[in-house]
Amino acid sequence: MQERAATAPRTGRRRQHPGWLTASRVAVWSATGFALLVVVGSVFAADLSGVWDDPAVPVAFGVLATTCAVVAGCAAVRATTMAPVWTALAAVMLLFTSANLAYAADPPSGLEPSWADGLYGVGYLALVGMPFLLLRRLRLRPHPTVWVDGLTTGLGALALALAVVLSTVHDADAATLLALGYVAADLLLLALLASLGSVVGSFRSVLLPALAVGLQLVADLGQYLAGGNGAPTDLLYVTGPVLLAWAAHRCPPEWTIREQSWRLRLEVRRIVLPLGGSTAALLVLTWSALAPLGAVPVLLAVAALVSMAVRTVLTLRATENFYELRAQALTDPLTGLGNRRTLDAALAGLPDDVPTALLLLDLDSFHDVNDGLGHAAGDEVLRLQAARLTGDEEPPGRVAVRLEGDTFALVLPGTGPAGARAVADEMAARLRLPMHVGGTRVRLTASVGVAVAPAGQPSAPATLLRRADDALTQAKRRAEAVVVHVTDQQPEVEVSRLQLAGELDTAIAEGQLVLWFQPQLHVAPACPVARGGRVTTVAGCEALVRWAHPTRGMLGPDHILGAAEHGRLLPALGDAVLGMAVAAAATWWHHTPVPVSVNLSATDLGDRRLPDRVFQLLLAHRLPPWALTVEVVEDTLMLDPLRVADVLGRLREMGVGIAIDDYGTGYSSLSYLHQLPVDELKLDRSLTQDLATSPTAAAITRHSIALAHDLGLRVVGEGIEDPEGLDALVELGCDTVQGYLTGRPMPLADWTTWLAEQTPPPARVEPATVGS
């Protein structure tokens, strides 16, 4: 095994040695030059018959055949797939050399047969076998019709050739039969080459060999008609070997047939040859009705027509199979509805001058059916719901498909927003109807997302599908049955969550995320803003993430958080924001000790390793724990209270501040305010924006501030945008404010400049005592 492996590279290097190509190039051009000299010399000869009687001519032809054998041998050494074919051609050329030398040693009289003709006959037999050798080497598995095409072509050509030969052999002598034998052999080779081109689907590959045999046929016919040597067509005898040599020389070493070239395809070149073969068969049968040709040509002609009939049957079957496979490719096997390919085709073929609606319908809590009743019951539910979508009589033009899982789609050509809403409501009502599956009564609800492309404002299929998917997501998020989007009302720069999720992963890795900072101010209770200003000091700032997208500009938190949730990138996003916020705080803390607040997600707070990461970050940037405040949304506290309480408790023990963000928008459970280690309560803007005009909002805010103060918590009012709201909030006892009125979010460079211009903040405020 080792010795065999060691010799393999040497064999490869020997095949690739440039010397073989050089030898082939010298030999093929020598053969070409010799053929040109023979043709030019013969043109100027007074008597061609006398030229061919010269014994030197067969020797010269032998030299020509030997030179062509050298070319074929070099090609056999260089080739891989075609090596046996070119080896066989080299052997045939050497046989022709032997026949020419034998002809020179014992020249016959006229066209009388000689033993040299036997060598020519063996060479022709070898040439006949070469197409079959090529097919064996290529290991093709074409469609049966391709084989039948080749058989039809060969049988028809052979029938016509035998008819031509047999029609002229009545009372013919041996010389005439020999000449006609060469003609028949040439016709047989042409038929085989035509059949080979049909099988491999590449007629260019057999062009040079077919041209060589065709010119040889013309020369043999000329000699037969002239009754001996001396015809002008005898000059063509030198072209056959030269063309075969060029075919071997030009063949690439790694030549093979491309797979797609021999697959079943409806092409003109697939039809011409079998049509020619069947036409030749009909010509032979017509000829036999007018004059006796013998049984063999007639039988071959009949066989060619039978082959053509078989070809017709196979074509019909292939067509039937094609449409059956096409239907299967466009049909969901479970429900019988169309599939994604059907949807793509329907959306691509919609007219632009009428409105089009696309409905995406998703079954809510379908996984409960699979988990509780099994997948067989789930499949039955999908089949029943699919039948409800189509109904007894589906309107013309409407296309219903199952996209994936429990998601369906309806395409409604000629339907505007109002009509789409009506259909969506009807479908949602149908899907809510109870059904009995395996003896169990099942009732599911459905969410429907609708996208409408108005008339004259066509949307690309991908855009329409994306808008419908966005509407479906909103329907599920809002717990609404139907949400409708009109595509011309959506900004063109909006991209799908899936695309943004993929880009966000890259953005986090490449540092495309940046932080902007919004100030939080202590406001003195005297001198209202509405009457000339209010004394403020900087209490802190909140870090807000932005995405400096390379093509879409600056994207805000809504895009970032939506993409992070869709791509499950919340942990990576939280780590990136936390790291950037601590690093930014280190740039101003030692000369202006203002803490920074960072909002963390439920995923971050569910990770028990978070306190250790925070400790390492603060240590790396030489910051005290109170330089950082972690903001928690109310709803996050309710997801896993024990785990969140443990993580927050460890952070609080370190000295990190804890703030409840968006207070008043979630569960607003008062129990966690004294059970969790909280320092600060941030009132949501929904409570603060109507303080000056709404007694109810003022009452809720007043009691919230009083409760927070009773528990020892500081209160931050968010969303302050007008002086009246600020006055009202401060009068209710709020400690700190945050909003566009007191300071808009700004990049780090602007924030540090703004911070340096403010009144120095008071001394550090100690964390509140929980439960005091």
Contacts with 448 (C-beta within 8 Å, 6 or more apart), sequence order = 359, 360, 361, 362, 424, 427, 428, 472, 475, 481, 482, 483
Mean pLDDT across 410-432: 88
Asked if 700 contacts 688 with a C-beta cutoff of 8 angstroms, the reply is no
Give dist(CA 221, CA 231) in Å, integer: 10
The model's pLDDT over 51-86, given as tens digits with 9 standing for 90+, comes to 556 667 778 788 888 888 888 888 888 777 778 888
pLDDT of residue 466: 83
Find, among 101, 97, 42, the residue nearest to 68 by Cα: 97
CA 468 to CA 424: how far, in whole Å?
12
> Torsion-angle region of residue 311: left (phi > 0), alpha (psi -120 to 50) or beta?
alpha
Q: Answer whether residue 110 shows pLDDT above 60.
A: no
- Please tell me whether residues 482 and 538 are part of one structural domain: no
In this structure, are 480 and 414 located in the same domain?
A: yes
pLDDT at 487: 58
Domain end point (choices 429, 464, 494): 494
Does 208 share its domain with 86? Answer: yes
Residue 152 resides in a domain: no
Query: 71-85, 534-548, 658-672: which has the minimum mean pLDDT?
Result: 658-672
Place of tokens 């000790």: 593
Statement to judge: residues 421 and 520 lie in one domain: no
Query: In sequence order, what are the residues at sequence separation of 6 or more whose Cβ sits closer than 8 angstroms to the Cβ of residue 691?
Result: 697, 698, 701, 725, 728, 729, 732
Residue-averaged pLDDT of the chain? 77
Q: Give the pLDDT band (50/70/90) at residue 127.
A: confident
In angstroms, what CA-CA distances link 445 with 119, 344, 361, 378, 425?
87, 27, 10, 14, 12
Q: Please tell me whether the overall predicted TM-score, pTM, comes out greater than 0.85 for this model.
A: no
Taking only the tens place, the pLDDT of each residue in 383-396 is: 998 888 887 666 77
Which CATH number characterizes residue 351's domain?
3.30.70.270
> How many Å apart are CA 583 and CA 577, to the nearest integer?
10
| Amino acid identity, position 68 | C
What are the tens digits of pLDDT across the range 706-733? Answer: 888 888 889 999 888 888 888 888 888 8
Contact partners, residue 403, CB within 8 Å, separation at least 6:
339, 340, 343, 360, 409
Residue 526 lies in a domain: yes
Other CB atoms within 10 A of residue 594 CB: 21
**What is the pLDDT at residue 168?**
63
- The Cα–Cα gap between 351 and 141 comes to 43
Q: Is 768 inside any structural domain? A: no
Q: Comparing 3 with 76, which gets the higher pLDDT?
A: 76
Same domain? For 554 and 463 the reply is: no
Q: For position 492, what pLDDT does the model report?
A: 40
According to the per-residue pLDDT averaged within each range, which of 457-461, 622-626, 635-639 is highest?
Answer: 622-626
The verdict on residue 476 lying in a domain is: yes
Q: Calculate mean pLDDT across residues 278-289.
A: 84
Q: Which residues pair with 659 in a beta bridge?
A: 631, 680
Q: Within a domain: residue 546?
A: yes
| pLDDT at residue 770 is higher than 60 | no
**Are 408 and 544 contained in the same domain?**
no
Tell me how far apart the alpha carbons of residues 64 and 182 are, in angstroms, rounded to a whole number: 20
* Residue 511 and residue 460 share a domain: no
Q: Output the pLDDT for position 464.
A: 84
Across the range 276-305, mean pLDDT stands at: 82
Rounded Cα gap, residues 715 and 580, in angstroms: 26
Decide if pLDDT at 171 tops 60.
Answer: no
The pLDDT assigned to 443 comes to 84
Location of structure tokens 């037999």: 125
Q: Which amino acid would we find at residue 219?
A: A
Question: Residues 570-613: pLDDT tens digits?
Answer: 888 999 999 999 999 999 998 889 999 999 887 788 788 999 99
Q: Rounded to whole angstroms, how far apart are CA atoms 199 and 422?
A: 58
Is residue 631 situated within a structural domain? yes
Domain boundary among 494, 519, 551: 494
Range of the domain at 246: 9-142+173-259
Structural domain total, the chain: 3
Would residue 320 count as lying in a domain? no
594 and 738 in a single domain? The answer is: yes
Residues 80 and 131 in one domain: yes
Judge if 592 and 717 occupy the same domain: yes
418 & 514 share domain: no
pLDDT at 630: 94
Q: What is the mean pLDDT of residues 216-233?
A: 72
- Looking at the structure, do residues 567 and 598 belong to the same domain, yes or no? yes
pLDDT computed for residue 527 by the predictor:
46
With a cut of 50, say whether residue 266 has pLDDT above it: no
The pLDDT value given to residue 181: 73
CATH number at residue 745: 3.20.20.450
pLDDT at residue number 530: 40
Query: Distance (Å, rounded) from C-alpha 456 to C-alpha 468?
Result: 19
285 located within any domain: no
Cα separation, 100 vs 331, whole angstroms: 68
| N- to C-terminal Cα separation, the chain | 85
The last residue of one of the domains, among 259, 282, 317, is: 259
Tell me if 223 sits within 8 A of 231, measured CB to CB. Answer: yes
Identify the residue with better confidence: 275 or 670: 275
- For helices 115-138 and 174-200, the axis angle rounded to 10 degrees is 10
